[in-house]
Amino acid sequence: MLVAHLLEVKGTMVATTTSDTTVGAVVAELVRHRVGALVVSPDGRQIEGIVSERDIVLRLSELHVDLLGRTVATIMSTSVRVCSPSDDVESIMNLMTEQRIRHVPVVDDGRLCGIISIGDVVKSRIGELEKDRNELMEYITAR
What digits encode the pLDDT tens for the residues 13-57? 999 999 999 999 999 999 999 999 999 999 999 999 999 999 999
Q: Which CATH class is domain 3-141?
A: alpha beta
Q: Are 58 and 77 in contact (CB under 8 A)?
A: no
Give the other-Cβ count within 10 Å of 82's Cβ.
17
What digits encode the pLDDT tens for the residues 116-142? 999 999 888 888 888 888 888 888 887
DSSP secondary structure, 41-101, as one string: -SSSSS--EEEEHHHHHHHHHHHGGGGGGSBGGGT-B-S---B-TTSBHHHHHHHHHHHT-
Residue 102, Ramachandran bin (φ over 0: left; ψ between -120 and 50: alpha; else beta): alpha
Domain extent listing, the chain? 3-141
CA dist 38 and 55 (Å) reads 11
CA dist 108 and 123 (Å) reads 23
